[in-house]
Structure 1
């Protein structure tokens, strides 16, 4: 969490305990063939792709157009800052999938993803006979930590973050404030008290937590 994001928490009069529930490791990858467009569903995938292109060797045999579709405003900004043209972006993978079917049905895709990527886009590509290949560009590992205290709310930014927390802690009587629908779906497995951010950003998750706290204090 950045300093500006922490200030949002403090200005909302919230107490904060912060820890890294997951560990991300960027990995090298190779691919063969030619693809028209890149697909990204996370900023970590973009960072790994940019790193891989800078360190490109003859073993990186494939070619891909300098265009992309992606999930998330910040992912789109990161791509643009690194010289990649963003053809379309969406708030989540399901909406991005709809855009792909409507606007790019004859386009071939290189899906740059993590080892815990969701099944939605690969299933969509297969169902509609869209040519694609996926490459694992980063690995996510869980870092469970036991907390001997109860929290009023927990902020989650990924399904793997939920999995890491519940590995050693109960979530049943705690409100989960989630960044998006896939994270919300994972949290719902462990608690019925869930809130989804109106925009998939860290800042909006914090805003929803502040609103929840204010409502809880002044019902």
Structure 2
């Protein structure tokens, strides 16, 4: 099964992608995580990614497509994947569809996780991330048990550079301009499932599980 998750920053895509990874035994492929890893390298490509990442702008389509499609060729993604944060533009979506079609595959499910802007801004303002294992916390609603130490792996959690207020605004504008139109693209294919990410955790998880076929009819 090939699944993509998209939506505005702070909607909860990463959290749901990790849940699906565990339930479906498919790799979660996060474009953000991949870019953050590459940005630590000392290469021209890494420097370019850092410039876009730190300013809240989207990495250009050609570079993003090259990096993500290369990742999809790795052995663990042969039988399916969960894409978190890619595609983010129509050009990326079409490139993904074209590549999958060449291999006799397709996107099976497009999960569009939405939420009111004020909810998203509040979430991002308090968000903390473990750079080691990827666990996500929120200072107000879901803090780590031991101050700034990850509950999962014991690494120190951080606040990301792209979650500063001025950068968040840039990311929201990029979402409205480039990513929101993907809803119509996948709706036309009949594979779009929209989930209100501002609902309770149980409700969001139930909707996601229903869409992925994880909940059995009673």
Q: Aligning the two structures, in what range does the TM-score lie when normalised by the shorter sequence?
A: 0.3 to 0.5
Structure number with the higher strand fraction is: 1
The alignment's TM-score, normalised by the length of structure 2, stands at 0.34
Structure number with the higher helix fraction is: 2
The alignment's TM-score, normalised by the length of structure 1, stands at 0.34
Higher RCO, Cα 8 Å, sep 6+: 2
The structure with the largest alpha-carbon Rg is 1
